[in-house]
Structure 1
Amino acid sequence: MKIAILTEGDGEFKSLPQLYEQLHDKMPNRTRIVKTLKISVQPDAEHGQLVAACRPNLALARAVADRIIVLLDREQQQQCPGGVAQQLEDEFKKIAKVPVQVVLKNRMYENWLLADLDALRSQPARFAVDAAAQRKICPNKADSIDGLREIKRLVKNGDYSKTSDSDKICRKANVEKMAANSRSFRHFLHAVGHESYRDVCRLPAQLAQTTGPKKRRGRA
Structure 2
Amino acid sequence: MPKPAFIVDGHLEFSILQAICKDSPLRRLNTNGDSVVVSKMAEKAAPVIRLLGNRYYPVYIVSDREDREESCEAMEAQYLSELKLRGIDITQIKIVFCDRMIENWIIADVEMIRGEYGDCVSAGETEGCDGKTKLRQIMSGAQERYSETVHGLRLFKRCNPARIAENSPSFRKLVLALEDRCEWLARHGVFCASLVDRQA
What interval of TM-score do these two structures reach, taking the shorter chain for normalisation?
0.7 to 0.9
User: In the aligned structure 1, how far is the partner of 2:166 from the partner of 2:194?
Assistant: 16
- Tell me what 1:129 maps to: 118
SS class of match (1:58): helix
Aligned length: 185
- Tell me what 2:79 maps to: 88
CA spacing shift, 1:60–1:158, aligned 2, 3 Å:
farther
- Tell me what 1:147 maps to: 131
Decide whether the 8 Å contact of 1:112 with 1:178 is kept in 2.
yes
- Tell me what 1:76 maps to: 67
Matches within 5 A, 1:156-175: 156-175=142-161
CA spacing shift, 1:173–1:62, aligned 2, 3 Å:
farther
Shift of 1:196: 3.7
The superposition leaves residues 145-182 of structure 1 with CA deviations (integer Å, 9 ceiling, x where unpaired) of 32111100122454211123121112211111110010
Shift of 1:78: 1.9
Shift of 1:84: 1.5
Shift of 1:203: 2.8
TM-score between the two structures when normalised by the length of structure 1 = 0.72
- State whether structure 2 residue 27 is matched by structure 1 residue 37: yes
TM-score between the two structures when normalised by the length of structure 2 = 0.79
User: In the aligned structure 2, how far is the partner of 1:100 from the partner of 1:149?
Assistant: 31
Decide whether the 8 Å contact of 2:10 with 2:32 is kept in 1.
no
Shift of 1:63: 6.0
Decide whether the 8 Å contact of 1:92 with 1:100 is kept in 2.
no
User: In the aligned structure 1, how far is the partner of 2:169 from the partner of 2:97?
Assistant: 10
- State whether structure 2 residue 120 is matched by structure 1 residue 116: no
CA spacing shift, 1:88–1:182, aligned 2, 3 Å:
same
Decide whether the 8 Å contact of 2:105 with 2:164 is kept in 1.
yes
User: In the aligned structure 2, how far is the partner of 1:60 from the partner of 1:200?
Assistant: 33
CA spacing shift, 1:38–1:103, aligned 2, 3 Å:
same
Shift of 1:97: 4.5
User: In the aligned structure 1, how far is the partner of 2:50 from the partner of 2:68?
Assistant: 28
- Unmatched segments (≥5 aa) in structure 1: 22-32, 205-215
Decide whether the 8 Å contact of 1:117 with 1:129 is kept in 2.
no
- Unmatched segments (≥5 aa) in structure 2: 181-189
The superposition leaves residues 86-128 of structure 1 with CA deviations (integer Å, 9 ceiling, x where unpaired) of 1111222233356112111001111001111333345x4xxx2
- Tell me what 1:179 maps to: 165
User: In the aligned structure 2, how far is the partner of 1:16 from the partner of 1:159?
Assistant: 24
CA spacing shift, 1:201–1:85, aligned 2, 3 Å:
farther
CA spacing shift, 1:180–1:199, aligned 2, 3 Å:
closer
Q: Give the counterpart letter for 1:72 in structure 2.
A: S
